Amino acid sequence: MKKNKVQGILYIILAGFFFSLMTFFVRISGDLPTMQKAFFRNAVAAVVSIVMLARSEEGFCIQKSSWPSLAMRCICGTTGLICNFYAIDRLGLADANMLNKLSPFFAIVMSVFVLKEKADRVEWMTVFVAFAGALFVIKPSFQVTSFYGFVGMLGGLGAGVAYTFVRRLGKMGERSPVIVMCFSVFSCLVTLPFVLFDYAPMSWRQLMTLLLAGLCATGGQFSITKAYTKAPAKEISVFDYSQILFAALLGMLFLQETPDRYSLLGYVIIIGTAVYKWRYTLKKDGAALTSK
């Protein structure tokens, strides 16, 4: 069990590295439409997941009961992805990644309505404190950067709702490649019309950069799936915040980005809240097992 937990932690840190690389490649691909970037990011994952399903014994078989949840996962996930990509191009890498990492706290809220799971006072407190931390990153004002920050937070909301439905699909026994394929294909179909009517010519360098973003996103998706097969989310999810550290490092080394003191304070509040919630959940579950 301890070995599996260590492997789970390593896989989730690897996922954080891949996702931070994805945002980096999206950023350096240049001044291209957000929809065009989103299309190429998902096209790679779509091809990989389709090949995996084609080679599997069950093929493309999808449970009939999964379709409503798959639809919600696709709609919310695509909305979150587009908002995240929009923010990546207009905010610092670390800021955009941090706002997207509000998704676990949004997932707590949505789990009450979607999964009928009850959140206690401490869990609700972590939601409010995390949002307060987000305000330091967004820095609300009448300046346009505040708008970009709120769009980035909407990306976290979309991701949080999408992950709630992913969890619901997992409980229903739906396969991971099916979920990845449906999301990726749906996102490609949504963004394709924008690409066709507002296509921006790309250099070979830009094309390769977006394909690398897609490969990194695919690597991150499968790494995080592998992580959660090795250990429960409650034990390892906090390590997903390693993505912020990788993104900040890439931003400083290659983009000359340095988060300001308010953003750094926001990072401390959000990550600190996530660590506190992680420790609280482990302690709570341990007490429940002892009482039995």
Which residues neighbour 84 within 8 Å (Cβ) at sequence distance 6 or greater? Answer: 23, 96, 100, 152, 155, 156, 158, 159
Which residues neighbour 50 within 8 Å (Cβ) at sequence distance 6 or greater? Answer: 181, 185
Choose the weakest-confidence range: 24-38, 129-143, 264-278.
Answer: 129-143
Question: Structural domain of residue 212, as residue ranges?
Answer: 2-291
Give the end-to-end CA distance of the chain in Å, rounded to a whole number. Answer: 21
- What is the per-residue pLDDT across 207-240, written as a single tens digit (0 to 9) for each? 999 999 999 998 887 787 777 667 666 667 678 7
- What is the per-residue pLDDT across 81-104, written as a single tens digit (0 to 9) for each? 999 999 988 887 888 888 887 877
Structure tokens of 241? 């915040």
* Among 1-10, 18-27, 112-121, 160-169, the range of highest mean pLDDT: 18-27
Structure tokens of 165? 């439905």
* Among 65-79, 111-125, 152-166, the range of highest mean pLDDT: 65-79
pTM, two decimals, is 0.81
